[in-house]
Structure 1
Amino acid sequence: MATEELISRMGDDPESKTLQDSSPIQVIGGQGTYSYFKNSTYQKLAANVSKEKVDKAIKRTLDVKSLLSSSPYPTNTIRLVDCGCADGPNTFDAMQDLIETIMEICKSQCPDSKMPEFQVFLNDQTYNDFNTLFTSLPQEREYFVAGVPGSFHKRLFPESFVHVVHVSHALHWLSQPPEELVDRASGAWNKGRIHYAFAPEEVVNAYANQFARDFDNFLNARAKEIVRGGIIVISNPSIPDGMPYSLIANGLMYECMGDILNHMVEEGLISEAQVDTFNLPIYSCPLREFTALVERNGNFRIEAIGLTNPSPWLEGRINMPEFVKHIRAAFEGMFSKHFPLEICEEMYRRLVERLDEINDEMTACYRDGIQLYAVLQRKRFKLVQR
């Protein structure tokens, strides 16, 4: 698209979206070309990489009899929740896999007992496309299902209600970008960048501190909701301890996004302020840092944890148009709230070209140690109020 045409289509107020107080983490709903429903297979493949290790830890950790008796009222229903479920289809596969694993445990531990019933709660933000989620539910399923809108950084359920919590590729999304990033008086002012990749240490620390607050809130909320002995199963982007984020494929991509937006500033398509006030609310927590945060919180015991390669299946060069469609499906809500639609369209078009230029470098960056898996068990002591 020509620069002149793009400017003319933007309207008369190119700075109408310059503030980013807490842009929504909203995937593209529906089942269209760029929808998350049709562009989330990479996340599914990545989560499946550590399935064997996670299943082994669950079977070693979960005591079904104790689990069911830990609720305030004895029950024969095991309740699971998927935090950050989006609008499918990955959440359905994840819940079915977890239920099958728990069924195996039940048959092993309680061979003469009736199989528990299963109730699944699908959670995401209030603006999630729950219509697509529920219209695409598998017709044949072994569980009852309900939706629970709301931020998983806050309470979602009554006390001692849930037995198993699942959260996959969602914890790295912050509740908001760190406020210091848009404060000109702060050493963490992130001028000209949209992420902490390639940024000064002060910016990295601002992101780390925001993640620490968010993760602590998540753990505190779940500690009240999960019965004693219940578990949290986590899969999340990570990074080896001490490795700069600039050496990760996503770090390269975020830098390209920032460069593209800065070029648009030079071309007069958007203002400098629009870039300076936009920061991606994404933080990939290193394993040692993650472990320290769980231990500091004190409500959960780590039963299994490790780092993996999220894409051992990747052979040859990355299909960049397909890759960027997946990125767009997940990021659209943030960009479209802050920038005009035409700018978003042009940014994604240029991103395909830019990433293809560094395709070999991007491919080489998919390595061991950039995805974390963990199984946390709710400790059996009485929760200390915090």
Structure 2
Amino acid sequence: MCGTHISERKGESRKAIEVAKELIKNAIAEELDIKTFTSKTFRIAGMGCSVGPNTLLAVRNIIDAAEHKFQSLLERGSTCYLPEFQVFFNDQASNDFNQLFTSLSPETHYFVAGVPVSFYGRVPEEVLDKRSPAWNRGRVHYSNSTSEVVKAFEAQYAKDFGKFLEVRAHEFVQGGLMALIIPGRPNGLPHSKAYTNKAFELLESSFIDMAKKVMMNDISLI
């Protein structure tokens, strides 16, 4: 059941990338200011890349759109040149970058690098503190938790995402673009009913069962 749900989430991610494809293509065609580029290298950062084919598809869409714009300008007599593409794949240090790199097609014509670093903070301290009203006892997620727990995670998210945007602002070159694909939920829909949270509920149930088995094994060894 859990494996099926993960497969469904991968399918949803792919759908999101496909939907964003046209938006990214139009944004690059209309907003990417090639005239301000002084480097012969076009750099792309894939944040939260994981190891599956979806991240490679997203990168391919960006490169295709950029190449199309450069080629269009060249055909109109522009003095610009087709740049060398470099892609920096970023994720947690535990991410299997080797698996990601072996998934690359032999026909890949861009250079890649793995950047193992996280912009996420730790779990909010309040949810781990037994004295706090936001103590998230017996849970690993905020779905079906109290409003205090939800607010603690919301505050942590705002802090982490603010840091993310601040760092990206320092990295951007003039005329650069950023595309964000973020799962969300309709206004008014409870967290427990959001499709993206169902997987965490399944994981939570599995973790609790595993913890109980460990406790039972410890008791039987005494």
CA contact (8 A) 2:87 2:111 kept: yes
Match runs of 1:61-80 below 5 Å: 61-66=31-36, 68=37, 74-80=38-44
Quick one: structure 1 residues 251 and 137, their matched pair in 2 at CA, closer, same or farther if it must change by over 3 Å?
A: closer
1:179 matched to 2:125? The reply is yes
3-state SS of paired residue (2:134): coil
3-state SS of paired residue (2:130): coil
Q: Match of 1:43, as an amino acid?
A: S
CA contact (8 A) 1:196 1:207 kept: yes
Select the residue among 45, 48, 53 that pairs with 1:81: 45
- Structure 1 counterpart of 2:190: 244
**Unaligned stretches of 5+ residues in structure 1:** 1-32, 69-73, 154-173, 272-386
Quick one: structure 1 residues 260 and 115, their matched pair in 2 at CA, closer, same or farther if it must change by over 3 Å?
A: closer
1:228 matched to 2:174? The reply is yes
- Structure 2 counterpart of 1:269: 213
1:51 matched to 2:21? The reply is yes
Quick one: structure 1 residues 53 and 260, their matched pair in 2 at CA, closer, same or farther if it must change by over 3 Å?
A: same
Moved over 6 A (4+): none
Match runs of 1:203-352 below 5 Å: 203-258=149-204, 268-270=212-214
Select the residue among 115, 137, 140 that pairs with 2:107: 140
**Unaligned stretches of 5+ residues in structure 2:** 216-222
CA contact (8 A) 1:64 1:109 kept: no
Quick one: structure 1 residues 249 and 232, their matched pair in 2 at CA, closer, same or farther if it must change by over 3 Å?
A: same
- Structure 2 counterpart of 1:198: 144
The structure in which a higher percent of residues are strand is: 1
- Structure 2 counterpart of 1:380: none
Counterparts of 1:131 and 1:256 in 2: how far apart (Å)?
28
Task: Tell me by how many angstroms 1:110 deviates.
Answer: 4.5
Counterparts of 1:147 and 1:263 in 2: how far apart (Å)?
35
Task: Tell me by how many angstroms 1:191 deviates.
Answer: 1.4
3-state SS of paired residue (1:114): coil
CA contact (8 A) 2:34 2:175 kept: no
Deviation readout 1:180-237 (Å, 9 max, x if unpaired): 1110111111113321112211111111111111111111111111112211111111
3-state SS of paired residue (1:199): coil
Deviation readout 1:27-73 (Å, 9 max, x if unpaired): xxxxxx99x99x9444223322232223223322211112x1xxxxx
Counterparts of 2:204 and 2:96 in 1: how far apart (Å)?
28
Quick one: structure 1 residues 263 and 116, their matched pair in 2 at CA, closer, same or farther if it must change by over 3 Å?
A: closer
Select the residue among 101, 117, 122 that pairs with 2:89: 122
- Structure 2 counterpart of 1:348: none
Counterparts of 1:45 and 1:177 in 2: how far apart (Å)?
29
Quick one: structure 1 residues 257 and 141, their matched pair in 2 at CA, closer, same or farther if it must change by over 3 Å?
A: closer
Deviation readout 1:94-118 (Å, 9 max, x if unpaired): 2111011011222334533322221
- Structure 1 counterpart of 2:218: none
What is the root-mean-square deviation of aligned Cα atoms in Å? Answer: 2.8
3-state SS of paired residue (1:119): strand
Quick one: structure 1 residues 144 and 264, their matched pair in 2 at CA, closer, same or farther if it must change by over 3 Å?
A: closer
Task: Tell me by how many angstroms 1:79 deviates.
Answer: 0.8
CA contact (8 A) 1:80 1:121 kept: yes
Deviation readout 1:319-359 (Å, 9 max, x if unpaired): xxxxxxxxxxxxxxxxxxxxxxxxxxxxxxxxxxxxxxxxx
User: TM-score, normalized by length of structure 2?
Assistant: 0.80
Task: Tell me by how many angstroms 1:261 deviates.
Answer: 5.4
The structure in which a higher percent of residues are helix is: 2
- Structure 1 counterpart of 2:220: none
Return the structure number with greater relative CO, CA threshold 8 A, min gap 6: 1
Q: Match of 1:216, as an amino acid?
A: G
Q: Match of 1:179, as an amino acid?
A: E
